[in-house]
Structures are given as C-alpha cells and as structure tokens.
Amino acid sequence: MVRAQTSHPLDPLTAAEISVAVATVRAAGATPEVRDGMRFIEVDLVEPEKQVVALADAYFFPPFQPSLLPRTKGGPVIPTKLPPRKARLVVYNKKSNETSTWIVELREVHATTRGGHHRGKVISSTVVPDVQPPMDAVEYAECEAVVKDFPPFREAMKKRGIEDMDLVMVDPWCAGYHSEADAPSRRLAKPLIFCRTESDCPMENGYARPVEGIHVLVDMQNMVVLEFEDRKLVPLPPADPLRNYTSGETQGGVDRSDVKPLQIIQPEGPSFRVNGHFIEWQKWNFRIGFTPREGLVIHSVAYIDGSRGRRPVAHRLSFVEMVVPYGDPNDPHYRKNAFDAGEDGLGKNSHSLKKGCDCLGYIKYFDAHFTNFYGGVETIENCVCLHEEDHGILWKHQDWRTGLAEVRRSRRLTVSFICTVANYEYGFFWHFYQDGKIEAEVKLTGILSLGALQPGETRKYGTTIAPGLYAPVHQHFFVARMDMAVDCKPGEAFNQVVEVNVKVEKPGDNNVHNNAFYAEEKLLKSEMEAMRDCDPLSARHWIVRNTRTVNRTGHLTGYKLVPGSNCLPLAGSEAKFLRRAAFLKHNLWVTPYARDEMHPGGEFPNQNPRVGEGLATWVKQNRSLEEADIVLWYVFGVTHIPRLEDWPVMPVERIGFMLMPHGFFNCSPAVDVPPNQSDLDDKENGLPAKPIQNGLIAKL
C-alpha cells in the first residue's frame, strides 16, 4: 500500500518544517557562543531530483499520472513512501562573521513542536569562505538606528537645518564591490540618507528630499560606524508641493471624481481548480512554489492535449536575479547597482496582498513562510495571487461573402506576487493563455531614487523633476531561469535550441521581384555558441525543440522564446558592477541542467570579489547542447530615462517575454474555445454590451 503523503516534494516548506530545520541547526552548534551568534538568512526547500518528482506525481498525489515513469518489464516497482523532505539553511554567525550552509533532513514534522522536541537530522554543514550572505530587514533597522545616533551625523544634519531625527530615513545599501576595501572580510553597508518634512505624516514621501554630501560606512556585524565624512554641504531640496501620492494629498489636493466602479463577477466561480499547490486550468496544469530569494516559482508545467495526453513544457520557471545599475558617475550614485534577489531576496520582501491587491475577480491566495533573522517563523498572508483575467479578443474572422462571423474572447490565468525593495516596487507575473502561450511579465512602479542639486545646478546624467531635485538615469535587468522540458518526461534529455533569424533573399533568379525573405535556422550546439543577443531587425527568436517527437507535418515539436523590448548594459566593459554581473553581457545563455547551477551571479553576490562568478564561468565548460536537458537564462531589461510624469510615484512600466508553441500542436489549441454566450445573446437581441457589475473577492 502506498502511504499517504502530507506534502508534495515541491511544496514550499511549511512553518512547522522551518521551525524544525532551525531548531535542528541551532542544536548542532558546537558551543553556546556559536549557537548564540547564529542568524538565519534563508531556510529553503531542497528540491528533489526530477525522478522523485515524477514518482510523486505518478503514484502519491492526484491527479496520479503513471505515464510520467518509463515502462518496465513486469510493471513498475512502487516504493511505500517518498524520501524525506530536506531543508537548506544559510546561516550567518554574527560573532565570527562566518557564513555556512546546512542541509537538514526533515524526518517527522508536526504542526507544533513542544518543549524543543523536533525530528530533524543534519545531513551536512559547510563553511563558505570569503562571502557575505544577503542582508536582513532586522539589520537594516539596526543600521538606521546606529547612524541616527552617531554624533557626527547628527551634527551634519543640524548644518542642514534638521535636528528631529524622526524625520530622517536611512536606507542601508549593500556596499557592492569596487575595491579591496569592500572585501567580504567585513560585512558592510553604505547608506543613502533622506529626510521627510513632517514627522506626523507616516505616508509622506521622504524620498523627495535626498541628503547628499554625507559619506557613511557601517560595519553591519558589530553595528558601528566605521567611516564618516561630511564631504559637501548640499542644501536639502525645498519641500515639493507635488511630492505626496496618498489619496487626498495629490496635486490640487482633490482626487478625480469621475471614475465609476469597475467590478468583476464570476457567478459560477472560477474555471481553475486548486488542490494544495497543484493548479489545473484550461488544459494547463502546474505547481506553485515560493522561495525567499526568487519569490514565486512555477513547477512541472504541462498541457493536456487530447489523445496525446499530458505533454510537459517546462520543469521549473522563476526569476532568479535582478540588477539595477545607475548611470550617474557622481557620488553616491555610481555605486548604486543593487542585486535585489541576491543581496536582499525578492521573496522575503514580498507583500501581503491583504494590504492592497491589484487583482479583480475570484481570487485564490497562497501564504508564504520565512525565517526571520533570529530563527523565528514569519508568515506573509495572501502573498501569491491566482486569478483569471479577460484579455480581449482571442481570435476572430468574418466571411465577407456570407457576413457570418466567429469571435472568441481570450481568458488568461495569472499567478503573481509583488515585492518592495527600498523605493521601488516590482510585480512578477506568469500568464497562461488558452492558445498555449506562457507570458512572463514584470511591472515596475514605486518611487524614483533621487539626488539633490546645488542651486542653479543641472546634470546630464538625469532629469530635473523639481527645484533642487533630479532623478538619475538607470537600468533594470531581470534574469528568468527556465528549466525546459518540451515533450520530455522527468529524466529525459531530448531538447535542443535553434536560433531563428529572418533573412532578406539576395536579388537574383530566386528573387526577381526583390520581395523575398525567409526564416533561417541555426542549431546552437554548445554553450559558447549559445551566448546570444536580441536582434529586432532580424525578428530573432529561439526555439526549444524535442529531438525525438514530431507533429503531423513531420517536424520536431517545440516552444519558442519571443523577446519583448530589451536592452544591454549601457556601461563600459570595465564597469565595476559588471565584475559581479557578467551575465548581463548577453540576453540569452543556454546551459545543460546542473543541479547546483541556480544563481547567475553566484549564490553570494553581496561584496563578491570574484570576477564573473556563476553563469559566465559555467559556460566556459562549453558543454554540448545538441541533445540535452536544456536550461534557458533570458536576461531582459529596460533603460529608464525619468520623466516629470514619473513623479511623485511612477506609473507601471511593463517588460517581459513570451513562450509560444511552435509546431507543438497540430493546429491552434484555441479553436475549441467556446463563444461568450452573453455576447451572443446581446448581439442577437440588438442590445448594448452589459456593464461589468458587482464583484466578488474570495480567499478559498
């Protein structure tokens, strides 16, 4: 008999599992001093081998899919239980300034642990030399307090007319790596300073008054100011009357009054089905995961294709890193190049959508659990949002001879989360469509990171947005890691990548009318060949194909990556941030799957002195890609030249890319989408479109 399993091997760690993992590691500390110095940066699931996932999906968890496992003579041998789940912990010792990683086997976990009792086993512990792990919110708060209590800092602020420290905002930024002075032998932060005008207004936009000319270096291990210098007295920008964005405090002090309610109803409920973290919708199915670093993770993406059954598309999809380099060479802006995933954690900085959700309709929320700095468990309620959206026309055709028309509306399933890193907000979205497409989208909003100007000063490296206030030019880069599995069962490695460029035919016998163009394909045979950039002039895209599965025309089945708008770093080759972010030098990288290759800039980019660690080093092995378990690393970004219209809060800017079926299906999978019955009834009766009315938001 197969024993019932409570957690799927890919489910995020529960609060109880995190508690057990922390208690196990703390108990394993060699001395009381070691245990007392432990600070817990991350506790994350050790994702099992793909064969274990296949076994779980085949025999232990609905919808039970035995076809995932290869056929064997005499039938499969089914174990009575799955291997125990494991947790991986990143631990920083505040007393020794030492970073270590731990693997803990979670043998037995109950909803609560009594009297310190736990059932975990340490599998391994490794000290990682010459690194600094991500910073924690507790450290940021302590750093702010230390700087505001530092007498020379208070004196410098007094010179600028500020004596009330409650007005002061200290944003600790990781030091990056610019010279040996930033080496990871010390845990460092170089804060940016801002100042509000009203201490009794918690929602005032304090980023409207940057404090420049003050240099502060903080030892984050011992929480002391190492360096302080009041280098230049730059006057605080005057209070901008347009600085605030809260309701009733915007320009003119009056909000619009002509916006009518817009609400969505689904009287029969949603079209998706949820079983734990397993999602089914419109022939798609996948699992939702979540990590402290990446945030949302999409696992085991597959499409149910009629008689062909369950067809895998991808094993794992996530955003693994982002970098925000600024283009102003002046201090302090030249050192603003945040690695928001690797230095802070996208998941750990995510929102509870209880406090404001941009989704409409019938919503399913998922909570997320994390460890805090001291090993306690914190829960972000309603962290991930799952809902359906109307998306306009899916397809339409009207026969001009008969006047008959067919039209279908598009619906998409959206999975998303939003995080705040200092002044910026980032929304990360995965959209699934009825025609087999998957769209990855990032929405950028929040508040600009500003600089102060001397009276009469202007800078060509930014946009003046108010008297004494300017916004430096900068870029935002995101890295999507896509462990593809096009028509591949777990354990199979039958994918390859083809680059497609559209070419203009040369004039001659084959092009007598000079109108000919065609798509030219090139197989990317190895990692060094597969370092590629976008080229909109040739409509460049890339297809991941299965080398052993064909469609009805005899061609290999595939999914293609279609770029959206994109860019490359606008920095010289010797730019300091590119030491740690060599992966930004190309838009596409392709590697064969390797279990430990997860972070394109290495696991610990904070103060990392090593040049090109991570993706740029892995590909030097030049491994074959002709038939492999393919991983795509797509780097996409936007160059932000700030506008006055981006102030005081930046309207959403969207960037992303599309994964589209290319010969994967034998015809359009959207052809069987039924018409919208209410639209047909209205058209038949000559009625106007029905208004959208009465909404329902539900936590299932």
Spell out the residues 6+ positions from residue 148 whose beta carbon is closer than 8 angstroms to its own.
154, 165, 168, 170
For residue 379, the model assigns a pLDDT of 97
Q: Tell me the pLDDT tens digit for each residue of 468-485.
A: 999 999 999 999 999 999
The answer to whether the Cα torsion of 659, 580, 615, 622 is positive or negative is positive
For the chain, how many helices (H) and strands (E)? Answer: 8, 32
The residue to which tokens 């990392």 are assigned:
608
Which residues are paired to 168 by β-bridges? 195
Strand 541-550 and strand 495-504: the pairing is antiparallel
54 SS3 class: helix
- What does 310-360 look like in DSSP terms, one character per residue? EEEEEEEEEEEEEEEEB---STTGGG-EEEIIIII-TTTTBPPGGG-----
What is the rounded distance in angstroms from the CA atom of residue 657 to the CA atom of residue 62?
31
Q: What are phi and psi for residue 536, nearest 5 degrees? A: -65, -25
Q: Indicate the burial class of 94 (C-beta count within 10 angstroms; 0-12, 13-18, 19 or more).
A: middle
Residue type, 200: D
Asked whether 91 and 109 are in contact (CB, 8 A), the reply is: no
Active site residues: 340, 424
CA 355 vs. chain centroid, Å, equals 20
User: How many angstroms separate the CA atoms of 103 and 108, rounded?
Assistant: 15
Which parts of the chain register pLDDT below 70? Answer: 1-5, 108-118, 199-200, 251-252, 677-700
Largest CA distance in the chain: 86
CA dist 600 and 582 (Å) reads 9
> Among candidates 312, 320, 321, 303, which has minimal Cα distance to 629?
312
The architecture of the domain spanning 15-128 is Roll (3.10)
How far separated are the first and last CA of the chain, in Å rounded? 32
201: Cβ contacts below 8 Å, ≥ 6 apart: none
SS3 138: helix
Give the DSSP H or E segment for 690: none
Residue of 143, 152, 166 lying closest to 214 (CA atoms): 152
Beta-carbon contacts of 295 under 8 Å, excluding residues fewer than 6 positions away, are 318, 319, 346, 347, 350, 417, 419, 428
**Axis crossing angle, helix 137-148 with helix 151-159, rounded to the nearest 10:** 70
How many angstroms separate the Cα of 247 from the Cα of each of 167, 359, 504, 634, 688? 21, 20, 54, 38, 34
Q: Say whether 272-357+436-447+474-640+649-662 and 15-128 share the same fold.
A: no
What's the token pair of residue 135?
């910073």
The predicted pLDDT at position 700 comes to: 37
Tell how strand 168-171 and strand 192-195 pair up: antiparallel
Quick check: 328 and 459 in contact, CB under 8 A? yes
Residue (of 127, 84, 126) closest to 105 by Cα position: 84
Neighbours of 74 (CB within 10 A): 5
CA 288, 290, 293, 294: dihedral to nearest 10 degrees? 20
pLDDT tens per residue, range 655-679: 999 999 999 999 999 999 999 865 5
Pick the closest to residue 296 from 441, 146, 138, 140 (CA basis).
441
Domain ranges of the chain: 15-128, 272-357+436-447+474-640+649-662
Contacts of 193 (CB under 8 A, 6+ apart): 147, 168, 169, 170, 171, 210, 211, 214, 216
In the CATH scheme, what is the homologous superfamily, with its name and number, of domain 272-357+436-447+474-640+649-662? Copper amine oxidase, catalytic domain (2.70.98.20)
For residue 569, with 0-12 CB atoms within 10 Å meaning exposed, 13-18 middle and 19 or more buried, which class applies?
Answer: buried
